Structure 1
């Protein structure tokens, strides 16, 4: 009886160990190092000190948009709630953090003297409409400047030059660059991401999803052989994954701009001056280091030249 009890106890202990290992990293590839949870990564990102030390605009000209924003006492903007590193909302505290979120706070402080920026939810397919009817003041949402979009809205910037990134399974060695996506099923989103893919690889087969998380899941589950979005949308997602990897190779360019209503060109000049100010005084670099820099552990890039791309 004692022997039987000992065997049962040993088996039970082994099962507990196996279950604990499985529960600790359900998506972890064999032999891969565990990755931190999204909440842990988001907790490292905090631009508060940078915003506190940021400049306030002096002797700004009166424009209809600026007068409206000052009358409200806040800057209303379209932004993301779930792009770690760029704009992530903590549901427990209500704090929005990240590079794009920081740009919104910095702009609000520059215009108002305080970082009173209010997030207004809006998907990527509604930004032009929200700007056109003045539901929001600006859109700061990994918003790629394109000539077609510039027909509908004004763009300040670019304030960051992203590129299209490629994600594959960790064990995949067949896809190393964009040309290797030829003839393959590639998860992506409609709009600029899909257009960039087909411009670079016309024979790729896009499979469209609504979010970066859904695209990654398609690769994990084998429904797509790769995924591509602008790399800004990928840094935070990949930082928590062990079974997929972000390739070093990129393709194309995605210049991010601050979108605003078309009917106040002087306000665009004010926002461009804001961007020039935070770039020249080092605020831009400090913001990067306190947000995206926490994810990718590389030196901050050089800010792009204002007005350097079509549509800006």
Structure 2
């Protein structure tokens, strides 16, 4: 197995997501425009003053004046930095802005570009307050971090170079070189469903896509949402299976901070009830996935949440 590890610190699809790289903190919202405020974040609730408890994580964030979010800068539709404006856009990015709005009254966030290998450490040492990075909830991970949510459910699927034949299900990966994001749910899924596959890992989604186009692997296993965006952007790759897993994304929090977890879960419920969650979905994932926004997953509905 070849591992190229991104050392700096996703995000979404797990990651969790494959889209991760080393970078210092990057301001996600240098100045939220009137148009943006009138769009996806228009319905985002703001916490009552009584909800910001003395001595709590929420109070510390409010005193600091910005929310520190572990996330990605290169995950299409989820958390990707706009090369023109410098703003980080997408479903996970806007959920982070909405949580900042709930605590601060405005979407002031700083995204610390994190890697799947280091998210737990970033939460434990206080480098970030939360992680929004297609962070799949598992019971094993829940031993190291707390998870609010789940806030979204996706699943793994398979992409290949257009014209590739013979791959229509995960079992067809047996005996083949398969690309996956380092430390993502794709790896155990491949091992389970195609134990004879040779797994080659990279630290970011762009690296995985490039490796696929260079024939360094015959297939790329990743979250469906990320692959949909990749295929839309690059017509030389195509998705050849329906999702074959169900991966609930959680909001990563420091382990043991039950007060903050309760607060974030309460915010998430208000987001869903107000239709703000649905608006954020429509303005990100919903731009390439047709139909109405799906029903949000029930908070606390999976082991580890």
Q: Aligning the two structures, in what range does the TM-score lie when normalised by the shorter sequence?
A: 0.7 to 0.9
State the Cα RMSD in Å: 1.7
CA deviations over 1:195-223 (Å, ceiling 9, x no partner): 12212322222111222222222222222
Task: Give yes or no for the alignment of 1:165 onto 2:144.
Answer: no
Inter-CA distance 274–200: structure 2 relative to 1 (3 Å threshold): farther
The whole-number CA distance in structure 1 between the counterparts of 2:56 and 2:190 is 39
Tell me the TM-score normalised to structure 1 length.
0.81
- Asked if the contact 1:85–1:235 (Cα under 8 Å) also holds between the matched residues in 2, the reply is no
Aligned to 1:308: 301
More helix by share: 1
Report which stretch shifted further, 211-220 or 275-284: 211-220
The whole-number CA distance in structure 1 between the counterparts of 2:204 and 2:36 is 25
Report which stretch shifted further, 81-90 or 170-179: 170-179
Aligned to 1:55: 45
1:305 Cα shift? 0.9
| Aligned with 1:257 (options 225, 250, 254) | 250
The whole-number CA distance in structure 1 between the counterparts of 2:145 and 2:51 is 22
- Asked if the contact 1:177–1:250 (Cα under 8 Å) also holds between the matched residues in 2, the reply is no
The whole-number CA distance in structure 2 between the counterparts of 1:294 and 1:47 is 16
Aligned to 1:68: 60
Aligned to 1:194: 187
SS state of the match for residue 274, structure 1?
A: helix
- Asked if the contact 1:163–1:254 (Cα under 8 Å) also holds between the matched residues in 2, the reply is yes
Aligned to 1:83: 75
Structure 1 outlier segments of 4+, above 3 Å? none
1:61 Cα shift? 5.0
Gaps of 5+ in 1: 1-45
Inter-CA distance 174–97: structure 2 relative to 1 (3 Å threshold): same
| Aligned with 1:245 (options 238, 256, 270) | 238
Gaps of 5+ in 2: 1-34
Task: Give yes or no for the alignment of 1:117 onto 2:117.
Answer: no
Aligned to 1:19: none
| Aligned with 2:225 (options 205, 226, 232) | 232
The whole-number CA distance in structure 1 between the counterparts of 2:228 and 2:112 is 23
Report which stretch shifted further, 186-195 or 263-272: 186-195
1:186 Cα shift? 0.8
The whole-number CA distance in structure 1 between the counterparts of 2:267 and 2:114 is 24
Aligned to 1:5: none
Tell me the TM-score normalised to structure 2 length.
0.83
| Aligned with 2:132 (options 127, 140, 146) | 140
